[in-house]
């Protein structure tokens, strides 16, 4: 949603975007990579990603790994919560009414 809004706001005008989250700028027509106040790389997302040893490429890979690790951690947490819920359910014995017990004997 944020990316769509940014793309729409930039349409038809020159826009300078400063971003730490590189996914925000990968649709840009031109990207400048700064280090210690100096431009060290420039190009499109595709060009910068195609360059072995590119600082941009390394930062993009690091952010993708971080996202993958976060997704795995989130999925693991969901599974753990489901396991905990299931364990709690199985630890609570069910109370049967006399009618249910009588019907169960039939």
Query: How confident is the prediction along the chain (106 residues), in pLDDT tens digits per residue?
Result: 777 887 788 888 888 888 888 888 888 889 999 999 999 999 999 999 999 999 999 999 998 887 677 667 777 777 777 777 766 666 666 676 777 777 765 5
φ/ψ of residue 57, rounded to 5: -60, -45
**Longest CA pairwise span in the chain (Å):** 84
Task: Round to whole Å and give the CA distance between 93 and 88.
Answer: 10
65, 64, 52: which is closest to 23 by C-alpha?
64
**CB-based contact 48:33 (threshold 8 Å):** yes
Structure tokens at 97: 């009414």
Total domains in the chain come to 1
Give the range of the structural domain holding residue 82, as residue numbers without chain letter.
2-104
Task: Indicate the pTM of the whole model.
Answer: 0.55
């Amino acid at each position: 949603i944020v990316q769509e809004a940014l793309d729409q706001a930039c349409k038809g005008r020159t826009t300078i975007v400063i971003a730490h989250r590189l996914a925000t700028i990968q649709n840009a027509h031109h990207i400048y990579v700064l280090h210690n106040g100096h431009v060290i790389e420039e190009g499109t997302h595709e060009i910068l990603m195609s360059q072995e040893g590119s600082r941009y490429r390394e930062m993009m890979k690091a952010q993708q790994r971080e996202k993958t690790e976060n997704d795995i951690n989130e999925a693991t947490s969901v599974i753990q919560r489901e396991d905990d819920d299931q364990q709690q359910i199985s630890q609570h014995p069910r109370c049967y009414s006399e009618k249910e017990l009588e019907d169960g004997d039939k």
